[in-house]
Amino acid sequence: MGITLASTWNPRGELARFRKSLAELRETYAGIRIVLPPEASIEPQVIETIQALGFELQSGPQGASPDAQPELLAASTTEWGWGRYQALQLALEIPATHIQYADFDRLLRWVETRPAEWRAAVAAVQACDCLIIERSEAAYCTHPQALIQTEAISNRVVSYLVGKSMDFSAGSKGFSRRAAEFLIANCRPGRALGTDGEWPVLLHRAGFAIESMNADGLDWESADRYRDQAADVHSQRSAAEAYDADPANWERRVQVALEIVQAAQDANERTVKRI
C-alpha cells in the first residue's frame, strides 16, 4: 500500500501556509508531485521557497529519470491546460498503490481546517479504484453563486453519464494505480478543468467502480488567497459576494461548466484503449 499526492498549484500567496503544512503532507504521502504554471509566470520567491523546502524543481513536461524518484518534486508545465494530466503522470513514477489528486490551494485549506477528515479521506482513497470526494452541503454553500449554479449543470451531465449523482468538481479525487494508468493511456490533455468530467466518465466506461464520500473541508478556498491562514466563514461570505458582483466571473464559470460538459461527452464517445 501507499499513496502519492498529485497536485496542481498556481501560487497566490500561500507560501507561508505551505511551509507550515509540509511536514504533515510528507508524513502522509509516499511522494508529492506538484505541477506549477509555466516557469516564466511564477514569482521568483516561489521557486526559491520550493527549492529551500527540499523539492527537486524541473522545467517542462519531462519527469524524473527512472533511476531517480525524489520524494518531493515540483515541475513547471509549458501548457497550464496539461497541468492535471502531468501531475497524474508524474505521480505514477512513485511505486505506490494509489494516487490522490488535489488542487493544492484546496488541499492546504483542508489540512489546516479539518486535518482528521483529510486523513480519513486519504485512507478512503486507498480502498477504492476511484473515489470522488464531494463537498458536503455546508461546504458547497460557502461558494459563490456563480460556481454553485454553473456546477449544478456540469455535475448533472456527468452524473447522468456515470449513472450516479455526485459532485465532481470539488477539487480532489483518488485513484488506484491501475485506474490512473488507464487514465493516462486514454486522456486527451489540454482541458484542465474538463478532467472533472473526462476522468470519471472514462473510468466508468472501463468498468471501474466510482465511489464517493463527503467532506466539510472542501469549502471555498479562493477566499484564502494572500492570507496567513485559512479564511473564516465571514471572510468567505464577503469574498463570495464580491466574486458574484463581477459579471466576468459568471462568464468564466459558464465557460468552465461548458468545458467539463464537452470533455465528459467526448470521453463518452471516444474509443478507449484497454491496459
Task: Look up the CATH number of the domain holding residue 8.
Answer: 3.90.550.10
CB 275 within 8 A of CB 206: no
Distance of CA 175 to the CA centre of its chain: 12
Q: Does residue 186 fall inside a structural domain?
A: yes
Q: Rounded distance, CA 51 to CA 238, Å?
A: 35
**Domain ranges, residue 239:** 3-269
Say if 233 falls within a structural domain.
yes
Here the contacts of 142-145 (C-beta below 8 Å, separation 24 or greater) are 142/219, 142/220, 142/233, 142/236, 142/237, 142/240, 143/219, 143/220, 143/240, 144/220, 144/240, 144/241, 144/243, 144/244, 144/249, 145/240, 145/244
pLDDT band at 275 (very low <50, low <70, confident <90, very high): confident
106 lies in a domain?
Answer: yes
Q: pTM of this prediction?
A: 0.93
Closest by CA to 127, choosing from 164, 91, 179, is 179
- Does the pLDDT value for residue 131 go beyond 90? yes
Has residue 274 been placed in a domain?
Answer: no
Please name the residue ranges forming H helices in the chain.
15-28, 44-52, 83-91, 104-113, 115-125, 137-140, 145-162, 177-186, 195-205, 233-244, 247-269
Structurally, the chain folds into a number of domains equal to 1
Residue 263: inside a domain: yes
Average pLDDT, rounded, for the chain = 93
Nine cell digits for residue 111? 489540512
The Cβ of residue 273 has, within 10 Å, a number of other Cβ atoms equal to 9
For residues 45 and 29, give the distance between their C-alpha atoms in angstroms, rounded to a whole number.
Answer: 25
The 10s digit of each residue's pLDDT in 155-182 is 999 999 999 999 999 999 999 999 999 9
What torsion do the CA atoms of 167, 173, 176, 181 make, to the nearest 10 degrees? 100
- Which of the four pLDDT bands, split at 50, 70 and 90, describes residue 195? very high
**Dihedral pair phi/psi, residue 237, rounded to 5°:** -65, -45
Indicate whether 39 belongs to any domain.
yes
Q: Which pLDDT does position 68 carry in this prediction? A: 57
How high is the pLDDT of residue 64? 45
In a domain, 275, yes or no: no
CA 203, 139, 111, 227 dihedral sign is positive
Residue 182 lies in a domain: yes
Using DSSP bridges, classify how beta strands 130-135 and 172-176 pair: parallel, antiparallel or unpaired: antiparallel
- Give ∠ CA 194-185-210 in degrees, rounded to 5: 60
